[in-house]
Chain A
Amino acid sequence: MKYNTDRKGHKKLLRSFERVGEYALLLKRVLAVPDRMKEFMKEFMKGIYFLGVNSIWIVVIISLFIGAAIVLQIALNIDSPMLPRFTVGVVSREIILLEFSSTIMCLILAGKVGSNVASEIGTMRITEQIDALDIMGVNSANYLILPKIVSFVAFMPVLVVFSMFMGLFGGYIICLFLETPSVETYVYGMQVFFRESFIWYSIGKSMLFGFIIASVAAYFGYTAKGGALEVGQASTNSVVMNSVLILVCDLVFTHLVMG
């Protein structure tokens, strides 16, 4: 019995290494010069719309509410005469700029965009549309995946800036209605000790996450086999894998850049 368990673990480990190799080989095919620039631009613009513009509403809603909740939580928990009230603005700003708008927002986008990319490419795989591209002599990986990666990475700064703005705006609304702290104190807190580099750090980090989300989801979709059930599994696996990778990369990136 123990032997069987060991063998299963061994197989799983081998499969993980295989997957890393397959992902690297797929990236090699993806990161090539497109056959036709015009077709690439068409797919790029589609990607901007479907992956980027269509994600704005979810970014706006989540950022607004979480931003408000962050300010409320900090205001309630930092209630000490030793700390000035503008600290609420400072801490909220740092949390929203450094972690929420990049990492947490990317975790949410891994669900929305990642599952979208994996299921779209997975469906194309099981309905032989990718085989049709290959037979025509088109580099299917490059044609399907590269525009998605480039468009999502290119649109990521827009989403991050939206998220930052809406998160801070959510806090502003809370201060406007509850006066904990007052709007003037909150705005002062947002401005004091401000470092512009945090915004660039956050944008850089989210672009890396954008690449991970689009490429990993595309990998799971591209290698899907079987039917509708397997496409669903590929989509779920891509979300799980993306979430883990984002968390690990966040830690490494933070240590390298800020540490």
Chain B
Amino acid sequence: MPTKSAARTTAVPEPPRIQFEGVVKKFGLNTVLDGLDFSVARGDRVTLIGPSGSGKTTILRLLMTLEEANGGLISIDGEPFTHERKGKRLVAASEKYKRRMRTKIGMVFQQFNLFPNMTVRENITEAPQHVLGQSKDVANMRATELLAQVGLEGKADAHPSQLSGGQQQRVAIARALAMEPKILLLDEVTSSLDPEIVAEVLAILRDIALSTDITMLIVTHEMQFARDVSNRVLMFDGGRIVEEDEPEAIFTNPREKRTQDFLKAVL
């Protein structure tokens, strides 16, 4: 990646990887995000914390286009995400445009969502082959590498139903990485795992975080993990950012009362 480091040294500021500007999201009468503004720089690993219902997961789902915003603008690398430029105007993005933008983003779900009709290998190679157009050999080779990385070398031909929850989640991580995303969304990836398995999944994620420059957006209840992995923490409440800081600062010395109460409750 020499070009990237070169770009970093030049004076021209890069556009943020992710930018939310006045984003509004309502479910019926319930306003989940109320004019949210924030941005994430390239390579940032941002953890979103806060009580449930504060809109953290909604942010990830908006980015993955699993939900549609009711207002505001989301941009990726300076390009509008949910809207596209037609001349000078912004119009609602076509499915084709959204698909192009989406290739930059991968997601790991709380419930794994592996495809039960495919083997572990097929789960990982299916999208690279049929969405990115990789050859079977290339996709298979990459799958083997990724499986080794998540410690599941021998499981390529197993079906998801034959794996434990922790193993399934590791496959899901490999599956997301196989798409070479610039941004990885982690939505409570350890919440449906048995406590003794959580550590193995988190160790893998920590590895990935520290060995790549993938931008990560993390929703988690594992505060230790947030501390280890992220370089920024955003505290959410009621669809707004209450406080943001480096993990060390926010965990040891939170300024806001809401953050203090929340951390007291979860730590």
Are A and B associated in one complex?
A: no
